[in-house]
Amino acid sequence: MSDSDKERLLREEGVLLMKNVIADDALVSVKDQYDHLDISLERTDIVKDRPVIVFWRHVMGSTKRLAHFDEFPALWQLITNCIVPTLRQSFPERTKRLQLLETIIFNKPPEISNTLNWHQDVAYFPLKPNNQIAVWIPFEMVTAERGAMVYAVGSHKLGPRGSTNLHTREKFENEDRDLIPDDPTTIGLEVRCMEMTPNDMLVHDGYTWHYSGPNLIKGYTRRGLSVRFVTEPAAFDPRPGQGAAFTRQIDIQPGDILDGAPFPLL
Ligand SMILES: O=C(O)CCC(=O)C(=O)O
């Protein structure tokens, strides 16, 4: 597929699955360092002087933990030496400006993990304009039974939607925007399950609706790395219902352009 086709498909469908763009050995030290940190990481306090990596287990009641890149250098290398160059090469128009917004590793332990319900990333982000792209890479093969990502193709064109509790779908207090329907096929959207290997990379628009089901396979872990980038200067625009961890790192006044050490330009 040519780079202009990739750019066009991302613009038209709001999501693109790129096959075989991650080298076999690219994730080896990332997974090693993740496993090492995961054993002892307890930090939950947010810092405002550097970006954080959110460790998020998809189990009801579990607390998000926070790592720093100086203790997870392989992940910084992956973002700067692999993810950013791949994005820039594939989507030159869309990625002229890439500002790191947040980095999350989603972990679905076997059998006890739950569904992360339909959502739109930008619903949780207090920015205006609210234009981002996100990358998602699995650490293991993912299938429908192993918590693969599922997208409503073209949903990014339907504008902002309300934010809900991702585990229960309960609407947040003061949320007055329309919600994503329970089943986007009822409004004519195609729903596509993205089965992937760790050589593949998903790219989605911040407005595209998506969810992931539970990991049902006994003895099988399922981790997914998500890195989100702001693609144009964006002002801080707080509103109720926007609960992403990085919002507590913002140290500017409403109306000011997002910047600062947690949000470097790459
Ligand atoms: O890894 C997952 O299951 C969820 C990821 C996700 O929803 C996201 O990256 O926005």
Tens-place pLDDT, residues 76-121: 999 999 999 999 999 999 999 999 999 999 999 998 878 889 999 9
Number of independent structural domains in the chain: 1
pLDDT of residue 1: 81
Is the residue at 260 inside a domain? no
Find the angle CA(163)-CA(168)-CA(171) to the nearest 5 degrees.
35
The CATH code of the domain that includes 118 is 2.60.120.620
Give the model's pLDDT for residue 239.
Answer: 77
pLDDT at 175: 82
Cβ–Cβ under 8 Å, residues 148 and 212: yes
Instruction: Collect the ranges in the chain with pLDDT lower than 50.
Output: none
Please give the single-letter amino acid code of residue 177. R
Residue 120 beta carbon below 6 angstroms from any ligand 1 atom: no
CA distance 125 to 127: 6
65 in any annotated domain: yes
Is 264 part of a structural domain of the chain?
no
Within a domain: 223: yes
The alpha carbons of the chain give a radius of gyration, in whole angstroms, of 17
Q: Phi-psi region for residue 135, left (φ > 0), alpha (ψ -120 to 50) or beta? A: beta
Is residue 261, in this structure, part of any structural domain at all?
A: no
Residue 254 located in a structural domain:
no
Can you give the residue range of the structural domain that contains 78?
Answer: 3-249
* Structure-block tokens of residue 143: 């299938």
- Check residue 262 and give its pLDDT: 96
In a domain, 49, yes or no: yes
Closest-lying ligand 1 atom to the alpha carbon of residue 119:
7
CA angle in degrees (0–180, nearest 5) for 148-224-142: 30
β-strand pairing of 99-107 with 52-57: parallel
- Dist. CA 219–CA 110, nearest whole Å: 6
Give the closest residue (by CA) to ligand 1 atom 3: 212
CA–CA separation, 163 vs 237, rounded Å?
Answer: 15
The whole-number pLDDT of residue 7 equals 94
**In angstroms, what is the span from residue 260 Cα to ligand 1's centroid?**
25
Write down the H helix ranges in 152-249: none
In a domain, 259, yes or no: no
Ligand 1 site, residue 222, Cβ cutoff 6 A: no
From 107, 115, 200, 226, mutation site for ligand 1 pocket: most ligand atoms within 8 A of C-beta:
226
Which SS3 state, helix, strand or coil, does residue 254 take? Answer: coil
